[in-house]
Structure 1
Amino acid sequence: MDKQELAAFLRTRRERLRPEDAGLPSGPRRRTPGLRREEVAVLAHISTEYYVRLEQGRAPRPSGEVLAGIAGALRLTDAESDHLHVLAGTAPIRGGLHRRDVRPSIHALLERLPQTAGFVMSAAFEVLAWNDLAAALMTDFGELGPRERNLARKAFLAPPQTDPPLFGVSDATEFRHHVVMALRLTLARYPSDPEVTGLVDDLRTGSPEFARLWERHDVQAAPVLTKTFQHPLVGTIVVDCDSLALTDSDQHLVLYTAPVGSPSAEALALLNVLGPGARTAPAAR
């Protein structure tokens, strides 16, 4: 049970709610945002004293029934409710180290996908495997070390002069939000993994934006269905984005495709011919 993280998560979820969200009268003007602790306690059918102790990090581990009541009172989503159980120690934690090995069948699949840029990403946002089209579209990952292949580091710690940031994607801001939310879940699953804890520490220290977003304690992002890349050789490429969970290894297979016959599909086909060095090749004059 991570008492301090649980306390902070409960406070941020409570403070985002308005009384009317929970079916309560707004009443006189409130000095602080969100519901009062006693209101959450009533809605969750627990004592105010116990809920206050939870938010102060002083309470013993709550039961599953109590957590369910709190999740309902705070109007938590399924992802937030799952995170609540992880923090309270009532859900299984993987422990140890997150997986960085990619099984051979996934490597083979990446190479067989026609006109598809694909890569495998770890729970800590390190690109672990990729095909040539992904390298041509984004960067030649084969020339980078593990730290440089980490998309979270690239999103928040890349030098200011990096141009364009994040491979020229259109949703850089949304991606940064997604990184913060996903890493909070990863840290809850692997609290003793030095790679995960070190990454979060580096990001909190090195990026004021990450530190600000981290304090929000959000854990659920909207799915990204399309991305737009600005490529130095072929210009604008709009792709459909599909992220498939590899649950046995806690990794994601990310696939970028374009509708058949579209200008973006033609651009991907050209990049497929140019190969992994396409992004750093000099532009045609």
Structure 2
Amino acid sequence: MSSKSIRAQRRSELGTFLRSRRERITPDDVGLAPGVRRRTPGLRREEVALLAGVGVTWYTWLEQGRPINPSVHVLDAIARTLRLDRAEREHLYQLAGVPALPPAEERSMLDPQVQLILDTLDPLAAAVYSSRFDLLAWNSTFTGLFPAFVAAAPESRNVIWEHFTSPPCCNPFVDPIAEVRPLVAMLRAAFGRHLAEPAWTGFVHRLSAESPAFARMWSAHDVAEPGPHVKVLRYEEVGEIRLTTTTLTVVGMPEARLVVYAPAGEQSRQRLAHLAAHPSRHCSLPDHGHARPGIRAEADLAPIGTFPTSDLVTVELRALR
């Protein structure tokens, strides 16, 4: 089947889905008078358009499967009007060609049971990230490793942003470039699913302006999938810690990832336990100063080469359902 035929089939399915959802809602459900001579068991098209704040003709075309491209903002308004639950909203965005829910909703949609699982994983460090590498949830051992990152404002808790903007003295990774290069490649792969979303394009534009090093890596167009990785960190309090990461998917959030950091060896395990009990205060000390910015300049970058990638280690957390 050609891509044109697939798009036409998806638009037809979208129209059918929207009609089925509006037909289950009565005017009384949304505070409208029932009126007379209603030929539809639920809301009329013009009523949905009115409540969602869109044009009647435009909404009619959407239900008819016309080749129009609704924005995330409009889809969100329609979803609220039709009282779609999370699964229905996800289906709506997929049929409309927007493959994920709006990024702003990722945090509010995180199942409370995920935090319970994170806490149960102690003394292993663990955290949940969005596909854009926003930090969504974490446990206490993770806090011991990255106390300043966890303490940052929610809108600043992004792993890639932190790597490129934090001063080297506050970045515990022994080789920040080797650490961040595969992350940028994974971000580039995920970006292909969010090309028209302002939250994604704005993030890339802001970080490109903030860090020439990121702009250079981004322009290489390298892509990669998540996989096991050995991270090497060094702290003044305990010295070097080596951690092996395992990535798991989270049921109900297709683009979210739960990453578990397991110590590679007994020495790293003991040092991780010490940091979990006594988080590093180095960067939060009153007299701590920064010699220079983070990974910003072209001179900070080694030549871009290739790096190995591994298959995603996937474990569905079915306990969340």
Report the TM-score when normalising by structure 1.
0.58
In structure 1, the partner of 2:59 is none
Question: Which residues of structure 2 form unaligned runs of 5+?
Answer: 1-96, 286-321
The answer to whether the aligner puts 1:110 opposite 2:118 as a matched pair is: yes
How far 1:142 moved relative to its partner? 4.4
The answer to whether the aligner puts 1:163 opposite 2:169 as a matched pair is: yes
**CA distance in structure 2 between the partners assigned to 1:193 and 1:211 by the alignment:** 19
**CA distance in structure 1 between the partners assigned to 2:148 and 2:169 by the alignment:** 16
Change (3 A) 1:192 1:100: farther
The answer to whether the aligner puts 1:265 opposite 2:269 as a matched pair is: yes
**CA distance in structure 2 between the partners assigned to 1:234 and 1:174 by the alignment:** 22
Change (3 A) 1:116 1:214: same
Moved over 3 A (4+): 221-224, 276-282
Opposite residue 151 of structure 1, the aligned amino acid is V
Indicate which of 248, 254, 257 corresponds to 2:252. 248
- Residues 223-232 or 128-137, more deviating: 223-232
Opposite residue 185 of structure 1, the aligned amino acid is A
Indicate which of 107, 132, 143 corresponds to 1:135. 143
User: Contact 2:170/2:283 (CA < 8 Å) preserved in 1?
Assistant: no
In structure 1, the partner of 2:107 is 100
How many aligned positions are there?
A: 188
Residues 215-258 of structure 1: CA deviation (Å, up to 9, x unaligned): 22111268442111112211111112112232631111111112
In structure 1, the partner of 2:208 is 204
**CA distance in structure 2 between the partners assigned to 1:113 and 1:278 by the alignment:** 24
Change (3 A) 1:273 1:176: closer
Change (3 A) 1:139 1:214: same
**CA distance in structure 2 between the partners assigned to 1:216 and 1:229 by the alignment:** 26
Aligned-partner SS, 2:174: coil
In structure 2, the partner of 1:188 is 192
User: Contact 1:241/1:255 (CA < 8 Å) preserved in 2?
Assistant: yes
Question: Which residues of structure 1 form unaligned runs of 5+?
Answer: 1-91
How far 1:205 moved relative to its partner? 1.9
How far 1:171 moved relative to its partner? 4.0
Residues 37-93 of structure 1: CA deviation (Å, up to 9, x unaligned): xxxxxxxxxxxxxxxxxxxxxxxxxxxxxxxxxxxxxxxxxxxxxxxxxxxxxxx64
In structure 1, the partner of 2:179 is 175
Aligned-partner SS, 1:233: coil
Report the TM-score when normalising by structure 2.
0.52
In structure 2, the partner of 1:125 is 133
